[in-house]
Amino acid sequence: MPISFDSEKRIFKLDTKTSSYIFQAYKEDYLIHLYYGSYIPDNSVEFLAPHQHNASFSPSNPVLEEASGFTCDSWPMEYSCNGTGDMRVSALAIRNSFGNTSTDIRYISHRIFKGKPALEGLPALYSMSDDDASTLEVETLDKVTGAKVYLLYTVFENYGAMTRSVRVENSSDKPMDIQRVYSACVDFNSMDFNMMHLYGFHCKERTLVTRHLEHGIQSIASKRGSSSHTHNPFVALAKDNATEDYGEAYGFNLVYSGNFAADIEVDFNGSTRIIMGINPTDFSWRLEPGSSFTSPELVMVYSAQGIGEMSRVFHRLYNNHLIRGEWKNKKRPLLINSWEAAYFDFDDDKLVAFAKRAKELGIEMLVMDDGWFGTRNDDTNSLGDWYVNENKLKGGIKSLVDRVHALGLKFGIWYEPEMISPDSDLYRTHPDWCLQVPGRDKSIGRHQYVLDMSRQDVRDNIFEQMSTVLSNNHIDYVKWDFNRNISEAGSALLPADRQQEVFHRFVLGTYELMGRLVDAYPHILLENCSGGGGRFDPGMLYFSPQIWCSDNTDPIERLSIQYGTSMCYPVSTVGAHVSACGRTGYETKGNVAMAGTFGYELDPIKLNDEELETVKKQVADYHKYYDVIHSGDLYRLIAPMEDGHHCAWGYVAQDKSEALFTFVTMLYNCNSTFFARLKGLDPDKYYRDSWTGEVHSGALLMNAGLSFKNAPRKDGTSFTVYVEEVK
């Protein structure tokens, strides 16, 4: 059993094939953390508790003798509480009916069971059978508030991964307010880590940042109402000596699309604590007697084989246990999107002309982006009026969809369901439906306000409007966009003492609407988007198997965006298109977009003969290499920031019989030869590679590598090398 409990020592042990996670119900029922790292078979590990730590000035429990050395402040705590002796960042703070926020949970009981329960109202990883996951639920109690706090752990034994979540129940007869409830807390007994995270902004999302931990608190967070372009809800703690291929790395990724925080504190003992969950800023949750609150889920991956293996575990886990529905393992249609081709300037004939040319090129779906509804010819109006603009689409959507389908292409459509333009019929009818604070100006972003998704009536209206289009037309794909951050987060329906719930209720409302859509139209391929990749997180991936990665389609700049994204998100989820803009030729545009879902975002009629031939070849390559890219494992060879000149990566089939590697020269260096060692192959197998045309051992290709003497000597060039086993 991957989860065990030693009833004598009261030690919990959660094992995967590669990792162990151990904690203990200690004296006075405190839960203390003992170990997280490579798999160890031993159960007798209680000596790992740190008896020698410096604890002067740290107050201790009055029942436990001071001589025992235990203080909540200096020992590794399993789930840290505010105001009762642990002075480090705390995961839980509940304000009790006396107005005090000191909180203290102690172990009561636990249960271990097979499988994985769903989280109410929240996206989460799922198990496909009782055998692929096991769950531990630990019941704790804060005696003073009467808060029952359940710590939930699910172990995915075959992945080196586990998930954490927390449920708080009010078992008292008085209301209480949750002021912070992080999804997990993990304490490490050293500070020899690099913190890796994904920073960015619009058109530069998820750029990898690495910094060494220092004493004090280092955080990343969003209070923008979405997970945001600025910081992705992903953090890795990699040991000082860890590299892409060697050493220990711990990855943390929150399954949540709203305000989040990851706080990492190195304390006076040189110990490290990470807590991650809903951002406590602008958050508070009123818990009435008998009611409960569930935190989002945190995914934790441990790798002893470097950062690369950490990423591969995330990829496998998400492909198998996060992505759902009909499109889970299905090849996605190769699409062309109208946005960069026409922006708002299109009509039905123009779209049909795109579709005709696209069909000749082998493209399989036309997506009509922003601009088809209300009176929208630019971004100043009509969000919320989800009915067709017949001045643009003569004969309505049905006629256009039929014409596109008649050409043999699928058809997709764009929505921005959570938004409302001040210049819209919806706003003129329901000015109270957007988020707002009485007496304050409503900030405007891209000429739009944000709908109050916490309201059922708002969600019902948007769903009905979308249903009218989706039920009466054969729509194959929906792009769900979200183009501003949230400010003045007040709801007209909530009482004053619940206004701090709005940000979270907004996210829950969006999840509910998205879930309703996915349930009602399971055949539709949903692609999320937020001004590019401003809401690229596992919460969204639970509903949509792919997300538009960035509005930046320049292939060179895309390299670092896609490199960062690959830290935890699999290639199948990364929306990537070839566009007309950018500083390279079409070959490199295609090679870079191939590290994603692949598609086009350009006017196909404007392509010259040479470009048309390149596109046809790309379409053929897309099909030829689809399996190895999408079912294979990613190996990053050269990071774009490594030497500033080259970037390289590859996908290796699970059985190591074939691989496709891509090499990009970002900035040509006249004095050095492009050289790379391949990775992920079987050293004992022999392969023919398409670069030399010769047969070499996997050992040679990985240890000696390949030298690309004849590679194009120009900025922005690229090439692929296909490697196939020779028996």
Is 604 strand, coil or helix? helix
Which pair of structure tokens corresponds to residue 406?
């008649």
- Which residue reads 């798999």 in tokens? 39
Contact 119, 77 (CB under 8 A): no
Q: What angle do CA 719, 644, 560 make, to 5 degrees?
A: 75
Judged by CB under 6 A, does residue 369 bind ligand DGJ? yes
C-alpha–C-alpha distance, residues 233 and 197, integer Å: 8
Instruction: With CA atoms as reference, report the closest residue to 166 among 132, 186, 139.
Output: 139
Nearer to ligand DGJ, 299 or 363 (CB): 363
CB of 595 to ligand DGJ, least distance (A): 18
**Least separation in angstroms between CB 79 and ligand DGJ:** 38
**Residues 78, 370, 501, 554: which binds ligand DGJ (CB under 6 A)?**
370
Minimum distance between the CB of residue 467 and ligand DGJ, rounded to whole angstroms?
21
| Distance in Å, CB of 101 to ligand DGJ, minimum | 41
Q: Which is nearer to ligand DGJ, 421 or 454 (CB)?
A: 421
Complex with ligand DGJ: residue 10 or 350, whichever CB lies closer? 350
- Active-site residue (options: 86, 132, 551, 554): 551
Minimum gap (Å) between residue 547 Cβ and ligand DGJ: 10
Q: Which residue type is seen at 57?
A: F
In the region spanning residues 546 to 575, those forming contacts with ligand DGJ, defined by CB under 6 A, are 548, 551
Two structure tokens written together for 51:
């008896």
* Contact status, residue 28 vs residue 62, Cβ threshold 8 Å: no
Rg (CA), the chain: 27
* Residues touching ligand DGJ, count (CB under 6 A): 11
Paired residues of 669 in beta bridges: none
| Closest-CA residue to 307 (of 674, 537, 564, 15) | 564
* Cβ atoms of 706 and 691 closer than 8 Å: yes
Q: Residue 258 or 532: which CB sits closer to ligand DGJ?
A: 532
Which of the residues 170 through 209 are near ligand DGJ (CB under 6 A)?
none
Q: Count CA within 13 A, CB hemisphere, residue 292.
A: 13
Residues 505-524 that bind ligand DGJ (CB under 6 A): none
How many Cβ atoms sit within 10 Å of the Cβ of residue 241? 10
Tell me the two tokens of residue 430: 């329901």
Comparing CA positions, the residue from 581, 576, 584, 575 lying closest to residue 603 is 581
**Nearest Cα to 33, choosing from 308, 372, 272, 267?**
272
**Is 551 considered catalytic here?**
yes
Is 386:339 a contact under the CB 8 Å cutoff?
Answer: no
| Closer of 369 and 725 to ligand DGJ (Cβ) | 369
CB of residue 548 vs ligand DGJ: minimum separation in angstroms? 5
Size (the chain), residues: 727
Nearer to ligand DGJ, 206 or 273 (CB): 206
Cα 83 to chain centroid distance, Å, stands at 32
Find the binding residues for ligand DGJ in span 522-551 (CB under 6 A).
Answer: 529, 531-532, 548, 551
In the complex, the smallest distance separating the C-beta of residue 387 from ligand DGJ, rounded to whole angstroms, is: 18
Considering beta carbons, is residue 339 or 600 the nearer one to ligand DGJ?
A: 339
Residues of this chain, 374-393, that bind ligand DGJ according to CB under 6 A: none
| Of residues 415 and 635, the one with the C-beta less far from ligand DGJ | 415
Residue number with CB closer to ligand DGJ (372 or 548): 548
CA-based angle 671:674:680, to the nearest 5?
155
Element (H, E) at 540: helix 538-541
Distance CA 423, CA 404 (A): 31
Distance CA(316)–CA(321), nearest Å, equals 8
Footprint on residues 338-367 left by ligand DGJ (CB under 6 A): 339
44-53 own/partner pairs: CB under 8 Å, 24+ apart: 44/9, 45/11, 46/9, 46/11, 48/22, 49/24, 49/75, 49/76, 50/74, 50/75, 50/76, 50/189, 50/269, 50/271, 53/269, 53/271
- Helical ranges in 450-530 per DSSP H: 456-472, 502-520
CA distance 363 to 688: 31
Nearer to ligand DGJ, 369 or 385 (CB): 369
**Nearest-approach distance from CB 342 to ligand DGJ, in angstroms:** 11
Draw the binding track, 449-488, toward ligand DGJ (x: CB under 6 A; -: no contact): --------------------------------x-x-----
Handedness of CA 543, 221, 259, 237 (dihedral sign): positive
Non-local CB neighbours of 67 within 8 Å, separated by 6+ positions: none
Shortest distance, position 339 Cβ to ligand DGJ, whole Å: 4
CB of 532 to ligand DGJ, least distance (A): 5
SS3 528: strand
Site string for ligand DGJ, 324-343 (x = CB under 6 A): ---------------x----
Site string for ligand DGJ, 414-443 (x = CB under 6 A): x-----------------------------
CA nearest to 18, candidates 45, 37, 42, 43: 37
Task: Enumerate the β-bridge partners of residue 636.
Answer: 649
- Our CA angle for 97, 103, 107, nearest 5°, is 120
Nearer to ligand DGJ, 205 or 297 (CB): 205
Smallest gap from residue 601 Cβ to ligand DGJ (A): 8
Residue placing its CB nearer to ligand DGJ in the complex, 124 or 525: 525
CB of residue 2 to ligand DGJ, shortest distance in Å: 41
Strands 106-114 and 134-142, by their bridges, are antiparallel
Identify the active-site residue in 104, 177, 481, 621: 481
258 in helix, strand or coil? coil
> Residue number with the shortest CB distance to ligand DGJ?
370
Query: Residue 460 catalytic?
Result: no
Catalytic center residues: 481, 551
- Contact positions toward ligand DGJ, by CB under 6 A? 339, 369-370, 414, 481, 483, 529, 531-532, 548, 551
